[in-house]
Structure 1
Amino acid sequence: MSRSITPRRGGRLRAGLSLALALWLVPLAARAAEAVVTVQGDNAVDVIDLEAGTILQRIPVAGSPAGIALSPDRRTAYVTCPDAPGIAVVDLTARKVAQVLALPGGPLGIAANPRSGAVYVADWYAKRVFVLVPGEAGLRLDGEIAVGASPSGIAVTPDGATLLVANREADTVSVVDAATRRETGTIAVGHHPFGITLDAQAKRAYTANVTGDDVSVIDLAAAREVGRVKTGQRPYVIALTGERGFVTDQYSGTVTVFDPATLAPVTRIEVGDHPEGIAATADERSVIVANWGSNTLSVIDARTLTVTREIKTDNSPRAFGDFLR
């Protein structure tokens, strides 16, 4: 909370305005103070203060919210609602739903293009990804992309040019040209890939292979799998820091830690029941895990590889996607 200070000869006021402007110019992603968590059992989205460990706002979202993506400016959350079916657009400044857009099928995985702002939604029940584009009236459906069976996780390269889609029932990853909206190739991976994550340089992608109990490592330039990492039972999503990879193991109640350079497992960390969504903070000091079965977030110290705290959430947090800001 800021204090009110009476300005003297204008100096303190100018200093205060300069500080406020400096703080505003700091990228939102660099602060990463909040988690925006889909809580499926309560049909809501929790906005959580990670430092205080408290729920700032519970935003009602109908339709069993599951997947989440944040807009490039981090001020809007796009939430998939498989039972609606459709997506909810959440204004994170006003902390309320600004738009509900109906979609056919089973929307689940979701990602936003960091350059164009387009939103991509995977239809779990069909071999397609919906393309939504922003406009004055909000998002609108602007076509679809043919991919493999049961698309789930989606990742977009930092330049916005390429989409990677994990096709669970096809055991493949679709490589999609964002400009032409066409699949340009497929890459064979392990059994039932679900979450997909890119490294910071967009040189490698990682898929969590649910029934294979491993992670496929993809060399994007070569367009092929180059290795696998053994995990616990039912891996779900991968998070990366500069030094480590972290994988949620749903059935084991653990996070598998591995070395991205050697692909060797490092350790397994006990977290809550049925961990699902996972992401690293912007400073890479912490990794946040959504535990679907225990209604908590586990906070892992990325250096010591220990759980430093548990944060209570509402019922059945999933946070499948990009959920930190």
Structure 2
Amino acid sequence: MKCWQAAKVAALVAAICASGAFSGAASAAEAFITDQTGDEVSVLDLGLKHVVARIPVLGKPAGIAMARDGRTAYVTSTEGKYVSVIDTASRRIASKIAMPDTPLGIAIDPEGRYLYVAGFYVPRLYKIDLSTSAIVATVEVGASPSGVALTPDGTRIVTADRDDNQISIIDTKSFSRTGTVKVGTHPFGVTIDALGERVYAANVESNDVSVVDLKTAKLLGTVAVGKRPYAIALAKGRGFSTDQYGGTVSVFDLSTLQPVKRISVGDYPEGIETSADGNSVYVVNWFSNEVWAINAETLAVTAKMPVGDGPRAFGTFLRETL
């Protein structure tokens, strides 16, 4: 090869490397999985498909909310009145936020200023200022609030009030409850679509998913799914519910609300979330200690990854890394 040709190739390689076209420079993803029985959070590298770190978290961790920038994860413990704040880069607990009640459901606003935590026994929703780690407001919701979700613009919050068979709708500015909607029996997980228009509630004891119009606070319809649905993800115009007792993920069409398929997964699936690119759905299997990946388009299982003991990951647990 002549000198000028070698120089040209070297320059081209340098340009490609700088642009991130090689896989080594591309972004990857991690899942922070709350292992309730193991009293830890497993950090699962979704590219390598194995656990790369384990973070001790006491009190039987279950709920999790990942900050939008992926730098911080907030974890609730079902046997501890606190929220553990995890620095995702160092894999360490940076601090703990004291709570007056046992927390479960948790969500963070899009700007990362406030954390919203449901107190399971009182029951109330707590607003925490993350600059001070102080509770700055509370609002009463229904009995045994479980899942918590925010609209993408952060203007409204929804809680799944398990023992009242309803969802509560809260205005974030006034931090007051503006409405309730009756859903199925014992709603647990709650998900809001990307437009902030529809709420999907997984009803554990009636084996269905309720679909609510958030603007009108009206029930739009109900979708029959598998046994004991716990949480819902949305991808490719479909809904995906984890059916804990069925060991399946039920897939349904979001426009017609008709069933599409049931996919067999591990034992007692609970946590579920869609990847940032919308191509994969990750399912956390509580009893078989695994995370399964499903192709959101073909509905094929593409990976089975072991994690810690008793994984739940109830909430948002995925983050992008560089």
Q: Do these two structures clear the TM 0.5 threshold for a shared fold by scoring above it?
A: yes
| One-letter code aligned to 2:139 | I
Structure 2: runs of 5 or more not aligned = 1-6
Residue number in structure 2 paired with 1:33: 29
Q: Work out whether 1:157 is the aligned partner of 2:151.
A: yes
Aligned pair in 2 of structure 1 residues 16, 266: CA closer, same or farther (>3 Å)?
closer
Q: Work out whether 1:246 is the aligned partner of 2:240.
A: yes
TM-score normalised by L of structure 1: 0.90
Structure 1: runs of 5 or more not aligned = 1-6
| One-letter code aligned to 1:128 | R
In 2, are the aligned partners of 1:131 and 1:144 still within 8 Å (CA)?
Answer: yes
Of residues 313, 316, 319 in structure 1, which corresponds to 2:313? 319
> RMSD value over aligned CA atoms?
2.3
- Partner Cα separation in structure 2 for residue 282 and residue 102 of structure 1: 31
1:14 CA displacement: 8.2
In 2, are the aligned partners of 1:116 and 1:160 still within 8 Å (CA)?
Answer: no
Comparing 139-148 with 206-215, greater Cα deviation is found at 139-148
Deviations 1:146-190 (A, max 9, x none): 111111111111111111111001111111011111101111111
TM-score normalised by L of structure 2: 0.91
In 2, are the aligned partners of 1:210 and 1:234 still within 8 Å (CA)?
Answer: yes
Residue number in structure 2 paired with 1:272: 266
Residue number in structure 2 paired with 1:148: 142
1:12 CA displacement: 8.6
Of residues 44, 47, 70 in structure 2, which corresponds to 1:48? 44
Q: Work out whether 1:206 is the aligned partner of 2:200.
A: yes
In 1, are the aligned partners of 2:236 and 2:297 still within 8 Å (CA)?
Answer: no
Percent sequence identity over aligned pairs = 46
| One-letter code aligned to 2:93 | V
For residues 1-325 of structure 1, the aligned pairs below 5 Å read: 15=15, 18-19=18-19, 31=27, 33-135=29-131, 139-325=133-319
Residue number in structure 2 paired with 1:4: none
1:19 CA displacement: 3.7
| One-letter code aligned to 2:53 | Q
Deviations 1:16-49 (A, max 9, x none): 89547xx9xx9xxxx5611111001111111111
| One-letter code aligned to 2:282 | I
In 2, are the aligned partners of 1:32 and 1:281 still within 8 Å (CA)?
Answer: no
In 2, are the aligned partners of 1:71 and 1:117 still within 8 Å (CA)?
Answer: no
- Partner Cα separation in structure 2 for residue 36 and residue 303 of structure 1: 24
| One-letter code aligned to 1:55 | V
In 1, are the aligned partners of 2:236 and 2:296 still within 8 Å (CA)?
Answer: no
In 1, are the aligned partners of 2:28 and 2:47 still within 8 Å (CA)?
Answer: no
SS state at 2:37 partner: helix
1:316 CA displacement: 0.6
| One-letter code aligned to 1:262 | T
| One-letter code aligned to 2:84 | A
In 1, are the aligned partners of 2:150 and 2:156 still within 8 Å (CA)?
Answer: yes
Aligned pair in 2 of structure 1 residues 39, 283: CA closer, same or farther (>3 Å)?
same
1:102 CA displacement: 2.1
